[in-house]
Chains A and B, each alone.
Chain A
Amino acid sequence: MYLVAYYCLLLAFLLSLVLAGWILSSLSSYLDKKLCSFKWIERFQLINLFLLVLASFVLLWALYVRDFSFAYVVDYTDKTLPWFYALTAFWAGQEGSFLFWALFLSLFGSLFVFMSSYKSLSDLSKKYFWIFFFIIQACFLLVLTGPSNPFQQLSPPPIKGNGLNPLLQHPGMIFHPPLLFIGYAGFSIPACIGLSVSLGREDKSWLRISRNWVLFSWILLTAGIVLGAWWSYMELGWGGYWAWDPVENASLIPWLCATAFIHTSIIGRQRKSLGRTNIFLIGMTLLSCFLGTFLTRSGVLESLHAFSGQKVGGFLLVFMLFLLALILLVTFKGQAREKNQLSDFITTPGAMLVLAWLLLFTGIVVVLGTMWPVISKLWSENSIDVNADFYNQVCLPLFTISIFLLVFCPWLGKRSHSSSLVQITLVAFFFILAAVLWTQGMTKFLPLLAATSSITACFSIIILFFAEKGVRKVRTRWGAYGVHFGVALIALGVAFSGPYKQEREVVLHKGQSFSINDYTFTYKDFSKYTFPGMAAYQAKIEVSNADKIIGKLTPERRIYQNFKQPFAEVSVLPSLGNEIYATLLGFSRDQAVRLKVSVNPLVNWIWIGGTLMCLMGFVALKKKITYFDGQVDEVAG
């Protein structure tokens, strides 16, 4: 079985390599151009996909039946694991997640063949597209057949497996990694389209052709990041949703780059400017997906998640440098159609460009901070790391300015009487709101600015839809502004729950109580439950607010069969205002408990905003793709 799967990967690797070489050679004028037939290229790509699907099925089947002769199955499953969690072990480990990524890369490449936008490309562009695509695909397959092979055999097979980490047995974790990987894979297609169309010197707008691809991948990436944040909030028991851990940063960097590209591409489509910038940015988006993987998989950083995979790291580094050179070459040598001058500065496109700068700067800061232990080695004997505070100090002001831009962005550059009226209203609203929040005790400057901006931005969007009929009629604008409404809600949640979270760690004996603000917490009872494969110890905490009981918290500590260490199961009293959050850190024989309790204001708006961002992203997708910059059909903001 492993041999079948392994040879599938090997064959697909060789096929991709040969195809890339074949098309490359057909570009040279010495050979007969007719030798290169797209019919065959497309068929071979379908064979590649078939081989990858087959290999994936072998792995899924092995996981399903718990075939312990597969090293991968032994590493991530055991017999007591429910079958759906066993299947999700597909992407629980490095080898499997690379296979998953490669599978979706191949799937997207094959899907693109059947799209009319592919058929509309010129022969030359198609050739370049396939060269880039096959190189990327071959790179993945090389990793999969070499340093990171998911089909390693154990002989004799062990009797039992190691089991899936209980932290990963959570609905948030089922979908978090695949969403990220599918997003990463999705960005390969628009990147290949952008690079190839600009090399093919076509008169079509690659920005229009690739718009839905970019947006779709962006939605999945966003969903993956939000889900990851929710998972770490609910499952890790830190009570935090974002710790600026290298792995979190690794998924944020491509997101920042892609979001910047989405905004510059709007300028590209509408004003036909920023041609080279767009080609460069889509390339960098793809590159940052690899950078993210490199950061987490190379062991270059002593990250929380890092593990030894030096071989994969070195290989990825070489590939990334190659890709970077390629992107730079195409950016400067390729043809950029969009050469118009920029609009005036104080306009919506002007604001979008500033936003793109802000996002890119944030991205560079995150890369710098994450790589600082490596970079500082250049002049310092001992490596130097930066705290989470570094990111907060540098990135939060940039994010706050971005949210502030959102308030006025839709109204900039409009000279009509009604829009200046709206602008005055917004300014007044902004200052009144800031004053109200200030008197309510929100006296820290940055959170105050962020909270005020985000509420005013929501207000601004609502006014826009009431005031302008033209906006209401276009579905993609509902999508675009819906996404921004979600962004504003997230900013609101972060502005409150970040700096105004209150947390205490206490040791309590039965009957004792303590309080945070108006909330009083009383430790009532302690109990033990046992399930097959797991034992749970639970503390019952009664919560009251000003002498009124508002609920019961039941944080647990669970001990799973295969894992010696206990796991904390968080308990919350959900609320759109103050969410109460408790973790049971430990307990003694006389049932004294150690608790971490926090009050998180408005934290749930982050998840609401995140959900809105993803759902409205789908609304922003276009049904019909136009290839040329004809009618001005969209002015998405």
Chain B
Amino acid sequence: MRQKKNQKAIYVISFLLLLVGVGYLVVSGINKNSVYFLNVSEALAKDAESIKNAKVFGKVLAQDLEEKEDSLGVKFWLADKENQAQAIRIDYAGAVPDTFKPGIEVIVQGSMRETGSVFEAQSLMTKCPSKYKKQ
């Protein structure tokens, strides 16, 4: 009988240990890897200092869209989905996805340049192209 009780205690203790371990992983993981997830208006409302690492989503505008020649990247205006007057200049370095074009929704990740006028993006994701719905 005593042994049975011991076994139960072992189960409980190992469960708690595992729980604490996972809890630690989650908390440290979130602290290290969380980024602001903002729309363009929210990003503009924040000061450049606080946008060190953020994801910004919005709609790609057609005007002043520059594909960088011979190198990887693109510069464009990203507008707020609801309020197109609010726009932010994005400078993206890296491979441009096939589905990138004016009018689509994208999520960029990166940081605001010190001057606060240009958002430097390291990653650019387009919303999955009409996997379920046409644009």
A568 to B95: give the CA distance in the assembly, Å: 12
Q: Which residue of B lies closest to A163 (CB)?
A: B134
Interface residues of A in 580-617 (CB under 8 A from B): 585-586, 588, 592, 594, 596
If A385-B37, A505-B94, A585-B95 touch, whether A167 touches B14 (CB-CB below 8 Å) is: no
Interface string of B65-96 (1 = CB under 8 A from A): 00001111000000000000000000000111
Per-residue CB proximity of A347-362 to B under 8 Å, as 1/0?
A: 0001001100110010
CA distance A557 to B134 in the complex (A): 21
Q: Are B128 and A304 in contact (CB under 8 A)?
A: yes
A289 vs chain B, min Cβ distance (A):
17
Asked if A594 contacts B72 (CB within 8 A), the reply is yes
A237 to B32, CA, bound (A): 28
* Residue of B with least CB distance to A296: B132
B76 to chain A, nearest CB (A): 15
Q: Mark A290-304, 1 if CB is under 8 A from B, else 0.
A: 000000000000111
Instruction: Flag whether B64 is at the interface (Cβ < 8 A).
Output: no
**Is A547 part of the binding interface, using a Cβ–Cβ cutoff of 8 Å?**
no
State how many residues of chain B have any CB contact under 8 Å with chain A. 48
B117 at the interface (CB under 8 A from A): no
> Do B33 and A389 touch (CB < 8 A)?
yes
Q: How far is the CB of B20 from chain A (nearest CB, A)?
A: 11
User: Complex: how many Å from CA A63 to CA B122?
Assistant: 41
Tell whether B59 is near chain A: CB-to-CB under 8 Å: no
* Nearest CB of B to A582, in Å: 12
Contact B95 A596 (CB under 8 A): yes
- Does any Cβ of A come within 8 Å of B129's Cβ? yes
Determine the residue in chain B with the shortest Cβ distance to A301.
B37
Judging by beta carbons under 8 Å apart, are A341 and B4 in contact?
yes
Q: When the two chains form their complex, are residues B69 and A588 in contact, meaning their CB atoms are under 8 A apart?
A: yes
| Residue of chain A at shortest CB distance from B39 | A302
Interface string of A474-512 (1 = CB under 8 A from B): 000000000000000000000000000000010100000
The closest CB in chain A to the CB of B95 belongs to: A585
The answer for the CA separation of A306 and B130 in the assembled complex, in Å, is: 9
Check if B131 sits within 8 Å of A365, measured CB to CB: no
A side interface size, CB within 8 A? 59
Known: A302-B57, A383-B37, A588-B70. A394 touches B22 (CB 8 A): yes
Provide the bound-state CA to CA distance between A586 and B69, in Å.
Answer: 11
Assembly CA distance A393 to B98 (angstroms): 30
The answer to whether A165 and B131 have CB atoms under 8 Å apart is: yes
CB-CB nearest in chain A for B133: A307
Residues 205-222 of A, flagged 1 when their CB comes within 8 A of B and 0 if not, give 000000000000000000
A567 within 8 A of B: yes
Residue of A75, A354, A586 touching B133 (CB-CB under 8 A): A75
In the complex, what distance in Å separates the CA atom of A368 from the CA atom of B34? 12
Contact B29 A394 (CB under 8 A): yes
B125: chain A residues within 8 A (beta carbon): 304
A384-B34, A592-B70 known; A307-B132 Cβ under 8 A:
yes
Please judge, given known A-B contacts A385-B55, A387-B35, A390-B34, whether A345 and B69 are in contact too, CB under 8 Å.
Answer: no
Cβ-defined contact, A305 with B100, below 8 A = no
CB distance from A391 to the nearest CB of B (A): 8
| A377 → chain B closest CB, angstroms | 10
Name B's interface SS: mixed
Q: A342-B7, A393-B32 are in contact. Are A505 and B95 (CB under 8 A)?
A: yes
- Which of A372, A385, A557 has most chain B Cβ within 10 Å? A385
A120-134, CB under 8 A of B: which get 1 and which 0? 000000000000000
Q: Choose one: A341, A343, A354; the contact of B14 (CB below 8 Å).
A: A354
Residue of A nearest to B99 (CB): A565
Which residues of chain A are near B129, meaning CB under 8 Å? 165, 167, 565
Interface string of B1-45 (1 = CB under 8 A from A): 000100110110011001100100110111011111110001000
B113 at the interface (CB under 8 A from A): no
Q: Return chain B residues, CB-CB under 8 Å to A343.
A: 7
Are A394 and B130 within 8 A (Cβ)?
no
B107 at the interface (CB under 8 A from A): yes
| A398 contacts the other chain (CB 8 A) | yes
Decide yes or no whether A94 CB sits under 8 A from chain B.
yes
Q: Is B127 a contact of A306 with CB atoms below 8 Å?
A: yes
Are A389's CB and B32's CB within 8 A?
yes
Contact with B along A371-404 (1 / 0, CB 8 A): 0110010000011111101100110011000000
Bound: A397/B24 CA distance, A: 12
User: Does A14 belong to the interface (CB within 8 Å)?
Assistant: no
Q: Which of A302, A343, A568 has the most CB of B within 10 A?
A: A302
CB-CB under 8 A from B18, the residues of chain A are 354, 357-358, 361
What are 25 A-B contacts defined by CB distance under 8 Å? A75-B133, A97-B132, A162-B134, A165-B131, A304-B126, A305-B127, A307-B132, A343-B7, A345-B14, A350-B11, A353-B11, A354-B18, A365-B26, A383-B38, A385-B34, A386-B35, A387-B35, A389-B33, A390-B29, A390-B32, A393-B28, A565-B99, A567-B98, A568-B98, A585-B95
Rank and list the top 7 A-B pairs by shortest CB-CB distance, nearest first. Answer: A385-B37, A390-B33, A307-B133, A305-B128, A304-B128, A387-B33, A345-B10
Residues on B lying within 8 angstroms of A by beta carbon are 4, 7-8, 10-11, 14-15, 18-19, 22, 25-26, 28-30, 32-38, 42, 46, 55, 57, 69-72, 94-96, 98-101, 107, 125-134
